[in-house]
Amino acid sequence: MRGISKTFPGVKALNDVQIKAWSGEVLALMGENGAGKSTLMKILSGAYHADPGGEILIDGSPVQITDPIAAKRHGIAIIYQELALAPNLSVAENIYLGDELHKPGGRIDRRAMNAGCRAVLERLGAPFGPQTTVSTLSIAERQLVEIARALHSRSRILVLDEPTTPLSSRETDRLFTLLRQLRAEGIALIYISHRMAEIYELADRVSVLRDGGYVGTLEREEINAEALVRMMVGRELSTFYTKEHDPHGSHGPVVLEVRNLTDGRRVKPCSLRLHRGEVLGIAGLVGSGRTELARLIYGADRRTGGEILLNGRPVTIRSPEDALAAGIAYLTEDRKQLGLFLDMSCAENINIGVIRKDSRPGGILDLARARERAEQAFAALRIRAASPQISVGSLSGGNQQKVLLSRWLETGPAVLILDEPTRGVDIGAKSEIYRIIDDLAKRDIGVIVISSELPEIIGICDRVLVMREGRIEGEVGGPSVHPITQENIMTYAAGVAA
């Protein structure tokens, strides 16, 4: 792809971008959310048309990709993060979708379709057959169906957009084994990911975009964290975890106290204290009960025992509405399913938590005040979008997260619980979210951060509680004798502390 540009109303999404992919290699495509990676791939797949002046060459010859059908004809397939399958159809029907085989008389020949895709499923080692209904498959198995569809149509260029986001570590390992097999068969793989470890493991080369422009390409022997971060965000890795708030905030007054909180099942009696201006981390292995504890505090799940105190006074929290009224806000780990209204505008998402403040007599909303609030949130959190009026579903992951965060900040919380605040977010947006957390602590808000990324927990938290099997197993940092290190956290998480 040479000289590729793309202009949307009010936004130059791509400016003179170039990338080159060889057969039999994995080219990683990296950059912040909003850097233009997905836009570039949508042009390659025919979903978007580039501005005049650029060109796409396959085997050295210019081609015209006018739509997805033309891309398929040229051997290009893209597997999006949100899988594009018809769950009510069989595996074979999905693989042949749009190219169905027919019997004389026009009826669909399902037997021929089942036979026709069996070979590619066996080649991939799929644990299901052509007649299996897609809705019965796991996410990893559905991803296999997408790959099978691409191979069945004889694709030579396969684009994978954040393919491991919904996968377990075991499923990710199986996917990597398959991708290495496809690379050995001569397929060109373009792999989009924010996860450095995946890039180190898979990539033969890395091309980096920033702010819609092409920054450069690193060969395998040149790939390292410092170089990638510098190319993606234009600054050094060491500037990431700036902590300007008082790291000794745990000496201040207690804003939230939890005593023996339990749901009687996944969360055993847990107690904790959070101080004003403190960033308290909750770490632990997957399934340790971190999210479940947060949901009990927020009233999203029913507790069977324990009590919650705010500023030393007991509060009754039976629902999220009670929690918000008391001054506790919770940013969910699943922003798309449980957090945002994706078909609504950014402004509507930001204002929906405080909509009562804008009601005038007669139930009429003060839209001017709501618009002003959204514009202020855009400026304060540096949300990158053409306007607060555009759909939040069209934003990058990092900007979606900042919209959701701004909603809860508008409620004026005394306590803010952030569950996996940087999941699915690029490096640049992570740095901005860390800045926001630091600013909240400087404003004397008590912040609880739940994260699976230990460098993140270590970099931004003043104290860390470690959970294991539904219990708080230990504490590191703060007044404890144990510093915040990966070793100390994992010792508690694995249950091997003395």
Q: For residue range 422-457, what is the model confidence (pLDDT) as tens digits?
A: 877 767 778 888 989 999 999 999 999 999 888 889
Q: Which of 195, 192, 166 is nearest to 179 (CA)?
A: 192
pTM: 0.64
Q: What average pLDDT does the segment 92-102 reach? A: 91
pLDDT tens profile 107-157? 999 999 999 999 889 888 888 999 999 999 888 888 889 888 888 888 999
CA dihedral (319, 320, 324, 329) positive or negative: positive
Q: Which pLDDT band holds residue 249 (cuts at 50, 70, 90)? A: low
What percent of the chain has pLDDT above 70? 96
* pLDDT on residue 33: 65
Residue 11 has pLDDT above 80, yes or no: no
Q: Which pLDDT band holds residue 236 (cuts at 50, 70, 90)? A: low
Dihedral in degrees, nearest 10, Cα atoms 287, 290, 293, 299: -100
pLDDT tens profile 336-358? 888 899 999 999 999 988 888 77
Q: What average pLDDT does the segment 74-94 reach? A: 88
Q: What average pLDDT does the segment 67-81 reach? A: 90
Residue 237 has pLDDT above 60, yes or no: no
Alpha carbon distances (Å) from 348 to 43, 135, 309, 382, 496: 30, 33, 32, 17, 48
Residue 250 has pLDDT above 70, yes or no: no
Residue 184 has pLDDT above 80, yes or no: yes
Q: What average pLDDT does the segment 350-372 reach? A: 83
Residue 179 has pLDDT above 70, yes or no: yes
* pLDDT on residue 251: 64
- Average pLDDT of the residues of the chain: 88
* pLDDT on residue 240: 66
- Structural domains for the chain: 4-236 (3.40.50.300), 249-493 (3.40.50.300)
Task: Pick 397 or 467 by higher pLDDT.
Answer: 467
120 CB neighbour count, 10 Å cutoff: 18
Beta strands in 123-249 (DSSP E): 157-161, 188-192, 205-210, 213-219
Q: Which pLDDT band holds residue 238 (cuts at 50, 70, 90)? A: low
* pLDDT on residue 239: 60
* pLDDT on residue 142: 87
* pLDDT on residue 170: 77
Q: Which of 252, 248, 255, 240 is nearest to 447 (CA)?
A: 255
